[in-house]
Amino acid sequence: MKTKGTKNRFSARVLNEMKLRLPSLSVNEGAARAAVAAFCSQLDPSASDIADIKCAVSEAVTNCIVHAYRDTIGIIYITVRLCEGNLVRIEIKDKGCGIENVEEARQPLYTTDAANERSGMGFTVMESFCDKVRVFSGCKKGTTVTLFKYLKARE
């Protein structure tokens, strides 16, 4: 809980920002993760931190491709903010079908995939590689996933 006079540890002054818009084509998942990783490299992250970011971004973008737009092509909006204190904030947004029940969707193994081709571990993977994951969604209004990652100081 935030009280008066305390600072939210996930809010910090933005030092640099990148915005990217990509069609929800599966071939763009790799482009998204590469672009985000390249942009984050200016903070001199460890190889482990870059791998974590790439994996979390991959999961979020794949969710947009597979679930948000299902049988159509839409736009995936990615905003990366590099902040003071080595905080990286990555926002991945779609204007797709939305998530009916975010709490339920965040449970491990939950999937809406009737063919059982998906594991239902997307949010769990994102949470394991980030310090915080925030999800906002509205039916037929889209979803915004914000990934927060503190980069470890290099030795």
Residues belonging to the active site: 59, 63, 118
Q: What distances in angstroms separate CA 125 from CA 3, 66, 95, one per listed residue?
A: 30, 16, 22
Q: Are 152 and 49 in contact (CB under 8 A)?
A: yes
Q: Which of 64, 86, 60 is nearest to 147 (CA)?
A: 60
Quote the tokens at residue 63.
């969710």
Work out whether the CA dihedral 147, 79, 93, 38 comes out positive or negative: negative
